[in-house]
């Protein structure tokens, strides 16, 4: 049962009349567990399960196919999560951020803080201001650090690994190995059933899979256009499928694109390979599309620092600086990076055995990058520096050996070679016995 205060909030939730004492004044910090997401956001993954953000563990609060979004957000259990964030108690579903902060000193909740508590909007009422939904895991890419949970393109790869590794090692290599290998879809009807909430949000965010690959996503876009949606539509996309017709449709909304990149230049096609053909999408092609789209939309970038792109981080940052102000976009800001990858652990930065370059890169970031921001303690790259400086352990060495083994299997299956794209690794390579 909801108490009178919760009922009062619900009554006015879509009229902008939320009581003053429900305003969010808190700020995420390493010394607390506060996160703005449970107070402002609903997230639905491609299974339909509810959470508060893309990192929150799903399966704890029901499914959008059965429960409407506003009933999930205002139920007693969701209220307890919000209370925990203000009481230095990690909610049960927040383990990923907790783990990330323990390893790198940074997590997704700090990014959410920047997104919502910006100088122009320092206060936010509790309520569903952001609706994040991943309609499907259908995708035309099979990115090396991804998994079947996020890409149908991974199914053949995961089956190959299962034929060549013990299941415990497959689980170590890729998340989602025990799930049934089929496409998971949130039906388009959930948009119609929750249309009031969608239209009342300041921000709708869609990821995947690849949204442009999914008819359910385009059903939502059509509904938003039909009802003259005035909020922002944020799309996390690999940008490989955006054509003129889709562009014209998206121009009818306040569209923001966040392009998943993870590498520039030749390394891009290795880290983010197309289904079927390595090299179908070149890094230079995607970089130019980013610049072209920046003339039409606000464009941000999603680049996850990891073992695979360690030698690419500096060139990427310099490319950002070169295009710092381009079209409608400001590419050189916090949207340019995600928190450093922390799982699967064998792909993390600290596993890389090139200690000399790791320390050099950490120093370069501190000297050249932090000086460009007013408060480097709040910059997402601090987690990267932390991982680069970590002492090399026996566990890291074992994970490097596992990386070599897994990569050789995937490369043989995909008819490619990591050493072609990252020749610096040959010095440290350990071939399986």
The pLDDT of residue 52 is 92
> CA 358 to CA 179: how far, in whole Å?
36
> CA 337 to CA 304: how far, in whole Å?
6
The pLDDT of residue 20 is 44
The pLDDT of residue 50 is 95
Confidence (pTM): 0.86
Q: Are 19 and 10 in contact (CB under 8 A)?
A: no
Nearest to 70 by CA among 23, 129, 26: 129
The pLDDT of residue 125 is 73
> CA 221 to CA 252: how far, in whole Å?
10
Rounded to 5 degrees, what are φ and ψ at 18? -75, 140
Nearest to 18 by CA among 34, 2, 39: 39
Angle at 94 between CA 92 and CA 199, to 5 degrees: 105
For the chain, 433 residues long, the average pLDDT of each consecutive 10-residue run is 35 36 66 91 93 87 94 94 92 90 84 63 73 94 91 93 95 83 89 97 93 96 98 96 96 95 96 89 95 91 95 94 69 68 93 98 91 66 92 97 97 96 97 78
């Amino acid at each position: 049962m909801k108490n009178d205060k919760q009922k009062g909030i619900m009554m006015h939730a879509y009229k902008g009349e939320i009581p003053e004492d429900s305003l969010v004044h808190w700020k995420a910090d390493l010394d607390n567990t506060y996160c703005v997401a449970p107070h402002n956001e609903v997230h639905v993954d491609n299974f339909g399960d509810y959470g508060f953000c893309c990192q929150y563990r799903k399966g704890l609060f029901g499914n959008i196919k059965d429960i409407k979004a506003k009933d999930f957000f205002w139920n007693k259990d969701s209220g307890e999560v919000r209370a925990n964030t203000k009481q230095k108690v990690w909610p049960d579903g927040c383990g990923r951020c907790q783990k990330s902060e323990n390893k790198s000193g940074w997590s997704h909740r700090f990014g959410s803080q920047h997104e919502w508590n910006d100088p122009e909007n320092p206060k936010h009422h509790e309520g569903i201001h952001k609706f994040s939904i991943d309609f499907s895991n259908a995708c035309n890419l099979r990115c090396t650090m991804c998994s079947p949970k996020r890409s149908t393109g991974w199914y053949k790869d995961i089956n190959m690994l299962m034929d060549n590794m013990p299941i415990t090692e497959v689980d170590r290599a890729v998340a989602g190995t025990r799930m049934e290998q089929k496409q998971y879809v949130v039906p388009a009807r959930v948009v119609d059933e929750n249309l009031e909430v969608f239209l009342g949000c300041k921000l709708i965010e869609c990821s995947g899979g690849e949204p442009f690959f999914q008819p359910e996503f385009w059903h939502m876009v059509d509904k938003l256009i039909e009802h003259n949606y005035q909020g922002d539509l944020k799309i996390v996309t690999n940008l490989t499928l955006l054509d003129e017709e889709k562009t014209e449709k998206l121009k009818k909304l306040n569209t923001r694109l966040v392009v998943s990149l993870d590498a520039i230049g030749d390394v891009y096609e290795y880290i983010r390979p197309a289904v079927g053909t390595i090299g179908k999408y070149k890094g230079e092609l995607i970089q130019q599309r980013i610049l072209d789209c920046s003339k039409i939309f606000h464009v941000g970038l999603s680049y996850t620092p990891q073992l695979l792109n360690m030698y690419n981080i500096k060139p990427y940052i310099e490319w950002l600086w070169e295009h710092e102000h381009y079209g409608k976009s400001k590419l050189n800001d916090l949207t340019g990076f995600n928190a450093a990858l922390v799982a699967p652990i064998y792909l993390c930065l600290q596993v890389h055995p090139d200690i000399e370059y790791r320390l050099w890169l950490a120093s370069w970031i501190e000297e050249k990058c932090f000086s460009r921001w007013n408060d480097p303690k709040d910059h997402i790259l601090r987690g990267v520096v932390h991982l680069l400086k970590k002492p090399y352990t026996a566990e890291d060495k074992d994970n490097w050996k596992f990386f070599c083994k897994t990569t050789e299997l995937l490369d043989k299956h995909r008819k490619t070679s990591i050493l072609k794209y990252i020749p610096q690794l040959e010095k440290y390579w350990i071939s399986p016995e």
